[in-house]
Amino acid sequence: MKFEHYPIDQKIKDQLKVLGFNRPTDIQYRAINHILDGEDVMAVAQTGTGKTAAFVIPVLHRLLHSKKKLGKKQQIHCIVLVPTRELAQQITGVFEQIGAQTPIKVVGLFGGVEQDSQINQLKKGAEVLIATPGRMFDLIAQGHLDVSGVQTLVLDEADLMLDLGFNKDIHDIINKIPKKHQTLFFTATINKKIKSLAYDVVRSAIRIQLSPQNPVSKNVHHAVAFIAMDDKRFFLENMIKEYEEARFLVFARTKVRVERIVKAMERVGLHAEALHGGIVQENRFAILDRFRKGENKVLITTDVAARGIDIPNMEYVINYDLPDLAENYVHRCGRTGRAAALGQALSFCSPDERELLDAIEAYTGEEIMQYEITEGEYKAILFDADDPSYNWQKLIDENEDPQYWQD
């Protein structure tokens, strides 16, 4: 079934054609009609399956239908609550793209930037609000935001919202909006805590679960290479130089680690940018924008970029450090292999990280393919590295092997 056959406004259909959206993904096919009918939906779907458009398309149609009834009066009729600022900005963009031919106004509310411009946008009028909880409640308390006309509440990345402690915020916003409203609940993972929250906020919901037993996308080729912690930077250098035209999203455990990796790449003449929670929000948006546009091909980041961030044509995800939480492996790798595209996910595993690798394999239910590196290949990568800070004499002393030098 193509989008042109759906009972949605022609303006939306025309824009979907402009964007190259012809047929719905599985989650879109199973969710759109239920949302159009005004039903509550609880959807569990892997990252990269198109779940944002699964609610954006029908929500826009319902808002257009309501707008015809309500006339020119502009009021917030839909709130999309999200856990991170980056996700708020991205979903705002999706609403603006798909709704480009409609009169629906969208406002993104998030912290880390001055609130005055956001307040001015609200004063001009809008029907859709994409918000992180903190900034939204601040503006409600200041009297700048009226949520009394909300008809639809979307909770996106609900599992991460719980992990970040937003459970109370979710219940608080439900108490502030009209009792009669539609709730759309989207999550990438499901467990007892998520189920408990879902049953608290949705009424007789349509349940859609697309997550297979293995939550990792089948479009992503996974491999793990066993590399000493201090040698990882040489292998990353080797990868980037080997595939000069490719883009790399590199995940490290902490912001200090991120900055060190960026500096290590700079020492060998490779440009990379850092992204983490210690960077001013406006700069974080600018860094992501440059990466999306291909102006920078190497982004070193913490898990701040592991959720919901859509980077077109993202070829390689490198887990420079394995994540402490096994489920974050799924979210990191979900930045590549999105929709119908294929992607590569390579993990660098040091001896100290074997337990983390075991936890990831237990979580996904599959063993990650080992990328075999011979002793000669390993040494060659170290010797080919351009890092002037490396102690070559120590390497030679520790790895004297007559057979190796004869080769």
Distance CA 339, CA 191 (A): 25
Span 39-56, average pLDDT: 87
- For residue 399, the model assigns a pLDDT of 53
pLDDT score recorded for residue 319: 96
CA 117, 118, 124 angle in degrees (round to 5)? 90
Instruction: Answer yes or no: do 237 and 150 share one domain.
Output: no
Shared domain for 41 and 184, answered yes or no, is yes
Asked if residue 316 and residue 168 are part of one domain, the reply reads: no
pLDDT at 161: 86
Question: Per the domain annotation, does 404 fall within a domain?
Answer: no
Are 235 and 98 members of one domain?
A: no
| Mean pLDDT, the chain, integer | 87
Count Cβ atoms within 10 A of the Cβ of residue 112 and give its class: 0-12 exposed, 13-18 middle, 19 or more buried.
middle
CA 108 to centroid of chain Cα atoms: 17
- This prediction's pTM: 0.71
Other residues' Cβ atoms within 10 Å of the Cβ of residue 16:
22
CATH number for the domain harbouring residue 193: 3.40.50.300
Per-residue tokens: 154: 């979307």
pLDDT given at position 175 = 93
Q: Are 229 and 236 in contact (CB under 8 A)?
A: no
Domain count, the chain: 2
In which domain, by residue range, is 174 found? 3-209
Assess whether pLDDT exceeds 60 at residue 151.
yes
Give the percent of the chain with pLDDT over 90: 56
Q: In whole angstroms, what separates CA 394 from the centre of its chain?
A: 42
The answer to whether residues 261 and 145 belong to one domain is no
Digit-coded pLDDT (tens) for 50-64: 889 999 999 999 999
CA distances from 379 to 32, 235, 391, 395 (A): 54, 11, 14, 9
352: Cβ–Cβ under 8 A, 6 or more apart, which residues?
A: 229
Please say whether the beta carbons of 159 and 188 come within 8 A. yes
Co-location of 131 and 224 in the same domain: no
Q: Among 209, 236, 253, where does a domain finish?
A: 209
Assess if residue 214 is contained within a domain: no
Residues 259-283, mean pLDDT to the nearest whole number: 92
Do residues 176 and 267 both lie within one domain? no
Assess if residue 215 is contained within a domain. no
One domain for residues 290 and 175: no
Q: Do 138 and 85 belong together in one domain?
A: yes
Residues 181 and 315 in one domain: no
In this prediction, residue 144 carries a pLDDT of 94
Residues 230 and 174 in one domain: no
288, pLDDT greater than 80? yes
**Same domain for 177 and 97:** yes
